[in-house]
Chain A
């Protein structure tokens, strides 16, 4: 009794609220735009052709670039961060991980407004630098791509760290000791043991940062001066302002396909590590 109920619930919920709407979006992307409906017949590939317009292609490239930069910064900061946290006692680790998510209880929109006060011409950073006499003209930080990347890293960093910490957790200290006994140097141990075994965590964290980064339109609106557009801004504008739903849907489908591609890459790398390290590791 219980078993079929759970299965039906699982498939029903995911089918109705995930699969069906995604299929509808794919369908919409194949229709002809209509100002008052999602779209209308006949079916067409126009929306996808429009994607090739150099304007949107360059927005796509720009947001890929910003998202990649965001991910890279998260990686450079997050890896030593997660490593250090994972090395602490259980109680400290739990406390710090908890402190990592507490800021999220203050909605990220409110925190984005606060970042404006930090990056502004008379904000905390410029104010301190000027007081220290390091600069005499405020630096233009706000309304630049820098501000957008800062905001994206700020909001997404904890999501990068969480899966990574758990993959450090699963690292068997015995393996490191063995490597040590076999005379591996600190670098060799890192390169050949730690890094490969935490790779799934790195990839998981990167995916969780990279894709959402392209959709956070309010960060681009508030910190980038609505100028350094992310793909999310274009999608939002297409749906709400231009009301070209098929094109908005086509952009969404492109993002989903991109995501699927990256997921396959992830699964592939996971399998590879699985074979090499003999670990049944799956951090996602």
Chain B
């Protein structure tokens, strides 16, 4: 058999299998689904996965909106975007009868105000934003609250995530406001509070926050739970502190855009991701918490009880989940955000 006939038959096989199951276009962060899961899905269902990636929620939203919700079949927005996209008619309602693995999900993470009754979204992974401390340089015992970051001794030392909602969350919590406030006066107060934090800020981290911690470029600052778990595994000196005023919580959800062309395959894909084995594999590889209770049960003891990944009940109750705050508040926040970042 010559190479040409071999490749021709391979091509034929490929097109055959692609034809049999069709395809599903997944739009997600890169590597946010563990190695092998997509292949296994294709092997089992014959559905080809086109995996496309974005670097933040805003880029994803802009692309989807400009294309009127077309082009992608499954997307993974954060909570506040789910309600925004839902309100703008950018999402396709989920057909629950096709989602047999729905039963594994933690009821505490379902039916949230951003999507009552989970008509449009199902939680994929969730996590928190709290404080990372490198004990080689900073005594973790001295850091217990967001307010501690305001201490003048951290001048030019802090890492903040490059995310307006998360950064404002700190100030809201210190001031005793809700993270979802839309009150212009409270937002202004938070902005003024943050202005006094700016001299301490070294970097707004635009890529993975664990990298500067591991590189020794920062020893104190905000970090996401999954990142902290991975950093901690590499260097146990990096601790994760849930601040007393309350950590920020977020959920990344699986949704189907309104213009999706392969709705049935999208359901099949979502249902596959909700399988306990797949959920367990995801937590192990990525380090964020899964809302999948049956999946959590499959994890080994160390992961299941890791407080960075799965915080205690009272920590969750003390924190707050992000929601959509409407265009007016967003506009206000963004205006302040530009001012903060340019140091004025």
The interface of chain A, by Cβ under 8 A from chain B, is: 35-36, 54-55, 58-59, 62, 113, 116-117, 120-123, 140, 142-143, 221-222, 225-227, 229, 234, 237, 239-243
Contacts and interface: CB of A to CB of B under 8 A. Distances in A.
Interface stretch (B28-36, B200-208, B252-260): B200-208
Contacts of B215: 116-117, 120-123
A237 B330 CA distance: 13
A76 to B, nearest CB: 28
B52 interface: no
Interface string B318-344: 000000000100010011011101111
A256 to B, nearest CB: 22
A180 to B, nearest CB: 54
Contacts of A240: 58-59, 62
A62 B65 CA distance: 33
A144 to B, nearest CB: 9
Given A143-B202, A143-B203, 13 more contacts: A54-B344, A120-B217, A121-B217, A221-B206, A222-B207, A225-B204, A226-B203, A229-B342, A234-B338, A239-B62, A240-B58, A240-B62, A241-B164
Contact of A36 (B65, B217, B339, B343): B65
A237 B338 contact: yes
B334 A242 contact: yes
Interface string B177-215: 000000000000000000000000111111100010001
28 contacts: A35-B327, A54-B344, A55-B339, A55-B342, A55-B344, A58-B342, A62-B342, A117-B215, A121-B215, A121-B216, A122-B217, A142-B203, A143-B202, A143-B217, A222-B206, A225-B203, A225-B205, A226-B203, A226-B204, A227-B204, A227-B341, A227-B343, A237-B338, A239-B62, A240-B58, A241-B58, A242-B335, A243-B62
A121 B343 CA distance: 23
A58 B339 CA distance: 11
A163 B202 CA distance: 38
Interface pairs A-B: 5 shortest CB-CB: A225-B203, A226-B204, A221-B206, A143-B203, A242-B334
Contacts of B277: none
Nearest to B84: A35
Contacts of A54: 344
A237 B335 CA distance: 11
A36 B89 CA distance: 12
A240 B331 CA distance: 12
B271 to A, nearest CB: 32
A120 B217 CA distance: 6
Interface string B258-296: 000000000000000000000000000000000000000
A120 B216 contact: yes
Contact of A140 (B156, B341, B344): B156
Contacts of A59: 342
Nearest to B215: A120
Contacts of B207: 113, 222
Say which size band chain B's interface belongs to: 20 to 34
Nearest to A113: B207
Contacts of A116: 211, 215
- Which among B164, B202, B203, B207 has the highest number of chain A CB atoms within 10 Å? B203
A241 B88 contact: no
Nearest to A221: B206
- Which among A59, A140, A227 has the highest number of chain B CB atoms within 10 Å? A227
Nearest to A35: B327
A226 B339 contact: no
Given A225-B204, A239-B62, A142 B217 contact: yes
A28 to B, nearest CB: 13
Given A117-B215, A120-B215, A234-B338, A227 B201 contact: yes
Nearest to B62: A240
A229 B217 CA distance: 20
A226 B202 contact: no
A123 to B, nearest CB: 8
Contacts of A222: 206-207
Contacts of A234: 338
A271 to B, nearest CB: 39
Contact of A225 (B88, B202, B216): B202
A263 B342 CA distance: 29
A226 B342 contact: no
A241 B81 CA distance: 12
A221 B207 CA distance: 9
A226 B162 CA distance: 8
Contacts of A142: 203, 217
Nearest to B203: A225
Nearest to A218: B206
A229 B62 contact: no
A82 to B, nearest CB: 34
Contacts of B344: 54-55, 58
A254 B211 CA distance: 36
Contacts of B206: 221-222, 226
Nearest to A243: B62
A142 B211 CA distance: 13
Contacts of B205: 225-226
